């Protein structure tokens, strides 16, 4: 497996509902490594850039308004296959159809309040990490438990 990094954001609904700790716990417990973390009041410009791929979709303006409405928690997680694995931990886009055991399946009911963002591919992860974090905000470190988590 290749050590990857992915961009994860706990959206404003997750922060307001007090789910930051619970959500971080899911990634920590899995065995991934936190390498970047900050609470951000997002600018409209950053939100529009982040969701640029959805610019033509009918939900785009509502999505941007939601993302900038209150602080979110931006994170970078590192680990073997973390990009695809995080998407599984997060669950399907619509929380109503997301499997129980996933973050969206356990805590959400509405597609417009689905709690969390995760990069959908390695290339997307790289560009989202560069969009949200400066190089010096990311910390490369070796958890002392790593020998008990990966061979």
Q: Mind telling me the catalytic residues? A: 117
Rounded to the nearest 10 degrees, the angle between the axes of helix 82-90 and helix 20-30 is: 140
Which segments within the chain are labelled E, that is strand?
A: 3-10, 33-40, 72-80, 116-118
Q: Which does 114 bind (CB under 5 to 8 A by kind): Mg ion, ligand DAT, none?
A: ligand DAT
* CB-nearer residue toward ligand DAT: 54 or 55: 54
Alpha carbons 77 and 4: distance in angstroms, whole number? 8
Q: Report the distance separating Cα 63 and Cα 53, nearest Å.
A: 12
Out of 41, 59, 139, 149, the only residue in the binding site for ligand DAT (CB under 6 A) is 59
Q: Hey, how many other C-beta atoms are within 10 angstroms of the C-beta on 151?
A: 5
Span 112-131, contacts to Mg ion by CB under 5 A: 120
Per-residue x/- track, 6-45, ligand DAT (CB under 6 A): ----------------------------------------
Q: Which residues contribute to the site for ligand DAT (CB under 6 A)? A: 54, 59, 63, 93, 111-112, 114, 117, 120
């Amino acid at each position: 497996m290749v050590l990857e990094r992915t961009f994860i954001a706990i959206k404003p609904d997750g922060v307001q509902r007090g789910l930051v700790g619970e959500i971080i716990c899911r990634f920590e417990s899995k065995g991934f490594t936190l390498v970047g973390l900050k609470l951000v009041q997002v600018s409209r410009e950053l939100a529009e850039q982040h969701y640029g791929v959805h610019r033509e979709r009918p939900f785009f303006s509502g999505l941007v308004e939601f993302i900038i409405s209150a602080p979110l928690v931006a994170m970078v997680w590192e680990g073997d296959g973390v990009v695809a694995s995080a998407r599984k931990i997060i669950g399907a886009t619509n929380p109503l159809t997301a499997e129980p055991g996933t973050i969206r399946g356990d805590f959400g009911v509405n597609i417009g309040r689905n709690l969390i963002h995760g990069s959908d591919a390695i290339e997307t992860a790289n560009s989202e990490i560069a969009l949200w974090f400066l190089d010096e905000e990311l910390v490369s470190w070796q958890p002392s438990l790593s020998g008990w988590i990966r061979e």
